[in-house]
Amino acid sequence: MGDKKTKTRDQIDQYYKWNIETMYPNEADWDKDYTRAMEEAQVYGKYSGRLGESAATLLEAFQEKDRIWQIAEKVYVYARMRRDEDNRVTKYQAMADKCHTMLAKISACMSFFTPELLDVPKEALLRFIQAENGLKIYEYVILDMLREKEHVLSKAEENLLAQMSEVTSATNDIYTLLNNADMKFGTMIDEDGDEVEVTHGRYISFMESYDRRVRKEAFEHMYGAYKALINTISTTYNYNTKTDVIGARIRKYDSALGAALSSDNIPKEVYHNLIDVVNKNLPILHKYMQLRKELLGVDELHMYDVYVPLIEVPNKKVSYEEALDIMREGLAPLGEDYCGRMNKGIADGWIDVYENEGKTSGAYSFGSYDSMPFILLNYSEKLKDVFTIVHEMGHSMHSNYTRETQPFVYGGHSIFTAEVASTVNESLLMQHLLHKETDINMRKYILNLYIEEFRTTLFRQTMFAEFELMTHEAVERGDVLTAEWLCEEYGKLNKKYFGDAIADDEDIKYEWARIPHFYNAFYVYKYATGYSAATAIADKILKEGPQARDRYISFLRTGESNYPIELLKIAGVDMSKAEPIEMAMKTFEALVNEFESLVR
């Protein structure tokens, strides 16, 4: 793949394409399944008003619901992946569009199910589970719905809230348009001497530029734009936070945090432990920042200096075949069964490797319950691409084990657990590369890469989580989130996290205004907890061997058959306690100490 011109899909060897034909060898069968899902959803209403009549009827309603969704999922996944191969093909655009209509119609046909099930007395449902063996599979689903029952309102109230949701989601829409469509960040001269527009996409590469003038100007352009609109953005965020707080009160939760954690049944201690342990370990981050200042040789370290790589990237190409070999070596601690399945998956055509014209960018793992897991890549022969393959393979192997073991109803994964499976793989690869690397510059590069992963995932996301907690608690106290308060508190938080090595950058206090995740509250902490859990699991696998590995494989088989905290305990990690985060912090400290010993 040496030439520069992007190939068309038909110019790429079949060996490097996924074997999607295994889903529908004949596309006429796709049409049949589409029609079948739509028709069967239309008659699903026959169960309306009957869920409480008998255990047998309830079981039949559950099974039929799963069966329809299983067909619909396969139909959707196939069309979506076909479109992603080349987004210019109108046939697959149309098929994917048809699927959105299908999914909406099926949801509407089944919307009676949850409220009606919750109308059946709890005692009757428990009797049904005892009486009908087939309902044992659905016991966890039923009990989980009952757990949330006290927060479900009457049908009339739920209907009102549903109608109001278009209004209550307005703040998110306003911010999205403001941030992505209306805001302009001006133009500047880049490192090649060309005048370019500053955009969200370019900003990241500007921050990694070795030209300090470029970093500084991009930083000033970016935050100057947010400063100019800070009152509008603060008002939008204030009302977004108020919506969370009022919504939680209406549904009888004790706080907005409690409401957000409830769907995964996550104890509040998980959130607080994360913030407390990270805060206790901030001196290690401060030490790294001091080291960064010394290595960059600057009198003052500014916030626009924190993303530039400290070690120049060794310019080494990694062919796809080499990448697979590196992955096999790195994931060897996961054992013969894991590696055997993975190798079979590669041979069977799980992976779509190279970029082609019209192909969806980035990377993902996808698939339906009864298909192979598939991996979309845009492989470009860089070391970071090897990490991408390993990451997506973690997701695909999670799906492979789960779908083999769990019924359809538990065949997916929550975000809380899904990111663990991908990050364990990255962690194992990182440790493998460090273990075998003899070239001192390459070793420094890998260490710095790993340290930055920790800083941006664990520390940064926890700082965001702390900010969200602060803003919601302020509104719950009856305070108003003014621009002045938000910027001042965020500025203090940033100073606390980065320490004294960082100069006082006035503009960084506006950073909160450019984080879209804040409009989906109490979400970012999952990146930090997932990273901590994965670091702890990878550590156990490497130190304890087969016993820890087998526990982890058992976890991969569980899907969504229990709450995330309970499932992670199977892998030997209890996220309701502080220990996994403390273990991750020890790993971070060891990395910083080794990096320091190599560069000083």
Pairwise CA distance, residues 80 & 545, whole Å: 40
392 is known as an active-site residue: yes
Per annotation, catalytic residue among 73, 85, 392, 476? 392
Residue 193, CB half-sphere, CA atoms under 13 Å: how many? 0
Average pLDDT, the chain: 95
For domain 229-313+408-600, give the CATH superfamily: Oligoendopeptidase f, C-terminal domain (1.10.1370.20)
Mean pLDDT of 149-165: 84
What are the structural domain ranges in the chain? 9-152, 229-313+408-600
Model confidence, pTM: 0.91
Residue 161 confidence (pLDDT) above 70: yes
Strands (E) in 277-359, as ranges, are 351-352
Domain 9-152 sits in CATH 3.40.190.10:
no
- Find out whether 247 and 235 touch, Cβ atoms under 8 Å: no
Res. 449 pLDDT band, cuts 50 70 90? very high
pLDDT, position 178: 93
Res. 345 pLDDT band, cuts 50 70 90? very high
Closest CA to 368 of 8, 16, 47, 24: 24
Pairwise CA distance, residues 37 & 249, whole Å: 38
What number of other Cβ atoms are within 10 A of residue 433's Cβ? 22
Alpha helices in 482-578 (DSSP H): 483-498, 525-544, 546-556, 564-570
pLDDT, position 152: 86
Res. 4 pLDDT band, cuts 50 70 90? low
Rounded alpha-carbon distances, angstroms, from residue 184 to 104, 187, 204, 251: 36, 9, 16, 39
pLDDT, position 283: 98
Lowest mean per-residue pLDDT among 4-8, 95-99, 473-477: 4-8
Reported as a single tens digit per residue, the pLDDT across 357-400 is 999 989 999 999 999 999 999 999 998 899 999 999 999 999 99
Reported as a single tens digit per residue, the pLDDT across 225-235 is 999 999 999 99
What number of other Cβ atoms are within 10 A of residue 234's Cβ? 20
User: Which residue shows structure tokens 């779908």?
Assistant: 403
